[in-house]
Amino acid sequence: MNTVEFSLSEFCRQTRQAIPLLQSMDLRFTEFGDHRLRVDMPLAPNINDKQTGFGGSIAALATAAGWAIVSLMLKSRPHRYDVMVTESHMRYLAPATCNFYAIANVSDSAMATFNQVLDEQRQGRITLQVMVEQDGKQVAVYTGTYKVIQRVSQ
């Protein structure tokens, strides 16, 4: 197990403890690297009346994935931050009929710009996209804006 894997597993444990609904959803942060985060979720605890993925679970998955990738990418900075979603848009493209997952991305250039804003102002907003998929097929597309504020105490 390398350092990144260990950190992700510890981040997953801490996050599921801090946000109990993620445990109910059985959400797992499964891969992180190259500015990309994968978050997996089984269908069973997230099913709806039509035996497909509940839209609210898909929205919560995408919201958490966006929050998590920003939180993980901020770990390389010397300060600690609070990350809060401020706005989101979701388009549902197809029903989820089996286990599904979210892929969150932040480009190198977007993160470089955002790091500069945080260096200068200690807070800022970042907008990113999350794809929700099952077996490589799109289920939903999410765009979320997150406000980031440097914590006063370490």
Among 8, 37, 39, 60, binds a second copy (CB under 8 A): 60
* From 9, 92, 97, 105, residue interacting with a second copy (rule: CB under 8 A): 92
Is 29 near a second copy (CB under 8 A)?
no
Q: How many CA atoms are closer than 13 Å to the CA of 118, on its beta-carbon side? A: 24
CA 96-99-105 angle, 5° bins: 85
Q: Which helix (H) or strand (E) holds 148?
A: strand 137-150
Whether 144 and 63 have beta carbons less than 8 Å apart is answered as yes
> Minimum distance from CB of 86 to a second copy (Å)?
5
Helices 3-18 and 55-73, packing angle to 10 deg: 130
In the three-class reduction of DSSP (H, G, I as helix; E, B as strand; rest coil), residue 45 is classed as: helix
- 63-82 positions binding a second copy, by CB under 8 A: 63-64, 67, 82
Q: Name the segment binding a second copy (CB under 8 A); options: 54-62, 72-80, 100-108, 121-129.
A: 54-62
Within residues 102-121, the interface with a second copy by CB under 8 A covers none
Q: What angle do CA 47, 132, 139 make, to 5 degrees?
A: 70
Q: Is 89 in the site for a second copy (CB under 8 A)?
A: yes
Residue 49 as a binder of a second copy (CB under 8 A): the answer is yes
**In the complex, which residues of this chain contact a second copy (CB under 8 A)?**
15, 18-22, 24-25, 45-50, 54-57, 59-61, 63-64, 67, 82, 84-92, 95
